[in-house]
Amino acid sequence: LAKTTQPISMDSYEGQEVNITCSHNNIATNDYITWYQQFPSQGPRFIIQGYKTKVTNEVASLFIPADRKSSTLSLPRVSLSDTAVYYCLVGENTGRRALTFGSGTRLQVQP
Amino acid sequence: GAVVSQHPSRVICKSGTSVKIECRSLDFQATTMFWYRQFPKKSLMLMATSNEGSKATYEQGVEKDKFLINHASLTLSTLTVTSAHPEDSSFYICSALRQGSSDTQYFGPGTRLTVL
């Protein structure tokens, strides 16, 4: 399984755009990149998933360069409620492989 | 989006008793479910992979006789912590795999187990 590296923590202010970058240098051809958000004492919540280029949904955007060795989760105009831990995971799209969680990035949004 | 539930959300039990935690995929079928545990301010750690109709696959260091997993249907997996001890106190989270053009794991809300 591809290992991921993320910043341990980030700080931001309400209304700002936040970009969290994840490194996954040994990503495999069949691997997808998935981001989850987790609040204290809750299960992780699916945010976005992508394979290459750019993916956008109502919550976030995911940018993946051509070499796929990194990815950036972009949260537009964060609010206090976006304070959480964000996990970047890389896994094979076979339906059989479990995800390995790294330490995640603890985002603190201040007023 | 896909919904996964867990029951109970919180349980307190005495040392030596057994506790069963249910994980259900409410709006999709899941042949594969996963069980994780999480300690305070730590990341999730995979315990086992649960496959419908077959035996679960446990991660190294996880006692299969202590953490019994049953995946009897396409929407239900159960984790039973047998003879629980205080060191088993943790946050247990399940996920269900929704297969499609890109397979995605959806997580339950978690179960807080406290063993006295």
pLDDT in tens, chain A (111 residues): 568 999 999 999 999 999 999 999 999 888 889 999 999 999 999 999 999 999 999 999 999 999 999 999 999 999 999 999 999 998 875 445 677 788 899 999 999
Model confidence pLDDT, tens digit, residues B61-90: 999 999 999 998 999 999 999 999 999 999
Q: Is the pLDDT of residue B102 over 80?
A: no
Please give the residue of chain A at the shortest CA–CA distance from B108. A43
Q: Do A96 and B102 touch (CB under 8 A)?
A: no
Interface touch B95/A43, C-beta < 8 Å: yes
Structure tokens at A101: 């969680």
CB A54 within 8 A of CB A62: yes
Contact A85/A102 with Cβ under 8 angstroms?
no
Please, are residues B21 and B43 in contact by the beta-carbon 8 Å criterion?
no
List of chain A residues whose C-beta atoms are within 8 Å of the C-beta of residue B46 = 98-101
Structure-token pair, residue B55: 């035996």
Backbone angles phi, psi at B86, to 5 degrees: -55, -35
pLDDT level of residue B93 (50, 70, 90 thresholds) = very high
Give Cβ neighbours of residue A61 (< 8 Å, ≥ 6 apart): A48, A54, A55, A73, A74, A76
Confidence at residue A37, expressed as pLDDT on a 0 to 100 scale: 97
